[in-house]
Structure 1
Amino acid sequence: MSWKGWLILIVALWLIVSVLIPNIAGSKGANLANFLITGIIFAAVSAMDFKQTKTVAWIILIVGIWLIISSFIPSITGSKTAAMTNGLIMGIINLILSFFMKKSKAS
């Protein structure tokens, strides 16, 4: 697995583990599901081992955008600053990674 695959796996594990941190997850079911589902998606994408780089890059891009958008939806984050920050940081990391993957594929 390339370093990009490992980075996506680390992001996936963080999103899954972050649902166990009360300050981030809180008691909001939608927030728990949001981070858990996106973490599972990233874990599955990292398991693809980048055989379909464009497809993987698009999946990462779309889920990264979703993480950023969902950070500003109060019914998902429960207006918790830690949940908003977690979603924003993970979303931005994934956006950067997806663009890097698309660029490196063309080279």
Structure 2
Amino acid sequence: MTWKGWTVLILSLWLIISAFIPGITGSSTGNLVNFLIVGIIMLVVSFPMFRGSRGIATTVLIFSVWLIISAFISGITGSKGGALTNYLIVGIVTLISSIFYRD
């Protein structure tokens, strides 16, 4: 078990939980759907990271970049600063984790 797998696991659980926090998602269903879909996929993908599967890091990298990009799509985030912050922090931390995983 590596710290990278644990990081992705914990942050994917946070994405799923944060989808139901009104202060973060607001009234935007785009936030809810995006947090849930990305969170569930990253949760499923995080388990092979414990076994040392390097191909999985590419999937995490793609979803990390998507989180960072979707932070700036107003149709998804709406006007919620909490959603923007959540997208950026989770996206950047998982991006760093996936880059280090590829070493």
Scaled by the length of structure 1, the TM-score of the pair is: 0.89
Find the aligned partners of 1:88 and 1:82 in 2 and give their Cα distance: 10
Gap runs ≥5 in structure 2: none
Residue 31, structure 1, aligned to residue 31, structure 2: yes
Provide the residue aligned with 1:2 in structure 2: 2
How far apart are the structure 2 equivalents of 1:76 and 1:57? 25
CA distance in 1: counterparts of 2:35 and 2:43, whole angstroms: 12
Task: For 2:29 and 2:13, locate their aligned partners in 1 and report how far apart those are by CA, in whole Å.
Answer: 19
Once the two structures are superposed, the pairs formed by residues 80-91 of structure 1 within 5 Å of their partners are 80-91=80-91
Partner of 1:59: 59
TM-score, normalised with respect to structure 2: 0.92
Q: Counterparts of 1:5 and 1:50 in 2: how far apart (Å)?
A: 9
Measured against aligned partners, the alpha-carbon deviations of 1:23-76 in whole angstroms (never above 9, x if no partner) come to 1111211110101111101110112234421x1111111000000000001110
Whose RCO is larger (CA < 8 A, sep 6+)? 2
Contact 1:50 / 1:56 at 8 angstroms: preserved in 2?
A: no
* RMSD value, Cα: 1.1
Give the number of aligned pairs: 102
2:75 is matched with 75
AA partner of residue 31 (structure 2) = N
